[in-house]
Chain A
């Protein structure tokens, strides 16, 4: 069964139709890259999946359970939205770290607050916090950030900040990671240190969708590539099919304007 299944998703901002009719599904452990020209709706699609934007119509199923249905989008409780949001980890182009917290605090803030909702929180507080911290430290170490745990975001390079942001999302054990152009705000020489972390996650069979302009990454690392254009998914397939054997005119044109 598909881990994520999206049917007929539509979204407009005012009169601008941004997502026109998107259907998409993915399996557990799959890494899907989304490519497409600027303004084609990639970010909006990703934001609709985890409710940063509310789609106008369509359905979203996670592990077969309906987590969104355009029919009753107005009656969704904010508690339900919040619960469903936690199935996804989201990484922003602009990192969005919390400037007043150091690296370790950025990573542990949300898990610590969420732990308060556990029934055993009062009796087990110390052990729970310790476990959260250990988990954060081990994730930070794997991301090569062990020396930086006491630094503040303003003291880090863009690449380091984005790695912290990735760790921060991972610390909540999401089922699916969503990346929105995680390297677009970085200098070229810092891009690889972030892509390598994402590649590690792919190797560990993390389920993820990554919107990217890094064609080499889409080609070499992802299991499947989706090409979006003007609010539609125009073509999808294995990296080979997409990059060496594109079918649609729009994709051919897009690829000829993009260096791979």
Chain B
């Protein structure tokens, strides 16, 4: 039984890991684009994006999952797989959270850094990529590490629209074999996953510790 459960949870872990990594892969860059949009001086860009961020951050992720999971079907659009729906919901949700972290990081960079780049003849793009970005990364590592850990655990919400990730698989044993321990056992998987991430972030923070500011 133990082996059956373990194998099943490992299978779920793979799905969990897929949601986690695909979300990051897409939400990290998308978040940057959204954050630049939310800081834009052009009102027709800024306000729709601000509204989007407000809606996404102001409603439960579970609700968003349901909207993207069942919404298309209700509207008569077929053929969108549940997994795609999950990805859209997660990417959009996390991109909005990331965008606010980026915004905080970018706005926290002193004006003098931009001006020093300007007087040295750097272009706006060079200033962003050669001067600002590294400093932003250092500043956003701690809040990002929080978001990453939250994402690990949020993946369990995907089971509300029938994605067979760890929690789903653990619950399945509860329903079929009337045993509770696989559910607690699944907690260990999340713990291990988050433990590895914590170590990783600790390592990155240490790497970036060679300078202050």
Given known pairs A152-B211, A153-B213, the reply for A100 and B138 (CB within 8 Å) is yes
Q: How far is the CA of A58 from the CA of B134 in the complex (A)?
A: 39
Is A113 in the interface zone, CB < 8 Å from B?
yes
Number of chain A residues close to chain B: CB under 8 A = 26
Does A64 have its Cβ within 8 Å of any Cβ on chain B? no
Chain A residues with CB under 8 Å of B213's CB are 99, 153-154
Closest A residue to B138 by beta carbon equals A100
Within 8 A of B (CB), among A132-184: 152-154, 168-169, 172
- Once the chains bind, are B119 and A113 in contact (CB under 8 Å)? no
| CA–CA, A85 and B138, complex, Å | 30
What is the CB-to-nearest-CB distance from B112 to chain A, in angstroms, rounded to a whole number? 4
B66 contacts the other chain (Cβ, under 8 Å)? no
Question: B118 and A109: CB pair below 8 A?
Answer: no
Collect the chain A residues with CB atoms within 8 Å of residue B126's CB.
Answer: 113
Contacts of B122 in A (CB 8 A): 110, 113
B57 located at the interface, meaning its Cβ lies under 8 Å from any Cβ of chain A in the complex: no
Is A88 an interface position by the 8 A CB rule? Answer: yes
| CA of A86 to CA of B210, assembled, Å | 31
Is residue B146 contacting chain A, with contact meaning CB distance below 8 A?
no
Main secondary structure of the interface of B (DSSP, over half): helix
Q: How far is the CA of A96 from the CA of B130 in the complex (A)?
A: 15
A92 touches B112 (CB 8 A): yes
B211 and A172 contacting across the interface, CB-CB below 8 Å: no
A-B pair count, CB < 8 Å, reads 57
Interface positions of B from 107 to 122, Cβ below 8 Å from A? 110, 112-113, 115-116, 118-122
A70–B113 alpha-carbon span in the complex (Å): 27
Q: State A88–B115 Cα separation when bound (angstroms).
A: 13
Among candidates B121, B134, B135, B212, residue contacting A110 with C-beta atoms closer than 8 Å: B121
Chain B contacts for A92, CB-based, 8 A: 112, 115-116
**Do A96 and B121 touch (CB < 8 A)?**
no
Report yes or no: A96 in contact with B112, Cβ–Cβ below 8 A: yes
Q: Which residues of B contact A97 (CB under 8 A)?
A: 116
Minimum CB–CB distance for B80 against chain A, Å: 43
Interchain CB contact (< 8 A) of B121 among A85, A100, A153: A85
A153 adjacent to B120 (CB under 8 Å): no
Least distance between B67 CB and chain A CB atoms (Å): 42
Q: Which residues of A contact B115 (CB under 8 A)?
A: 52, 92, 96
A78 to B121, CA, bound (A): 11
> In the complex, what distance in Å separates the CA atom of A110 from the CA atom of B130?
10
Interface members, chain A 89-112 (any B CB < 8 Å): 89-90, 92, 94, 96-100, 109-110
CB contacts (< 8 Å) of B210 on chain A: these are 152
A113→B130 contact, CB < 8 A: yes
Smallest beta-carbon distance B156→chain A, Å: 37
Asked whether B120 lies within 8 Å of A109 as measured between CB atoms, the reply is yes
Cβ contact within 8 Å between B123 and A96: no
Report yes or no: B135 in contact with A100, Cβ–Cβ below 8 A: yes
Q: Are B120 and A52 in contact (CB under 8 A)?
A: no
Residues from chain A with a CB closer than 8 A to the CB of B130 are 109, 113
Q: Known: A92-B115, A100-B134. Is A154-B121 also a contact (CB below 8 A)? A: no
Between A90, A97, A98, A113, the greatest number of chain B beta carbons within 10 A of the residue's beta carbon is seen for A98
A82 within 8 A of B: yes
Q: With an 8 A cutoff between CB atoms, is B144 at the interface?
A: no
Complex Cα–Cα for A178 and B213 (A):
25
**Distance in Å from the Cβ of B137 to the closest Cβ of chain A?**
9
A44 at the interface (CB under 8 A from B): no
When distances are taken between beta carbons in the complex, the residues of chain B under 8 Å from A152 are: 210-211
Name the A residues within 8 Å of B110 (CB-CB).
96
Quote the shortest CB–CB distance from A2 to chain B (angstroms).
22
**Does B131 lie at the interface of the complex (its beta carbon under 8 Å from any beta carbon of A)?**
yes
- A153: shortest Cβ distance to chain B, in Å? 7
Can you give 29 contacting A-B residue pairs, CB < 8 Å?
A: A50-B119, A52-B115, A52-B119, A82-B121, A85-B119, A85-B121, A86-B121, A88-B119, A94-B112, A96-B112, A96-B113, A96-B115, A96-B116, A97-B116, A98-B116, A98-B131, A99-B212, A99-B213, A100-B135, A100-B211, A110-B120, A110-B122, A113-B121, A113-B126, A114-B121, A152-B211, A153-B211, A154-B211, A169-B119
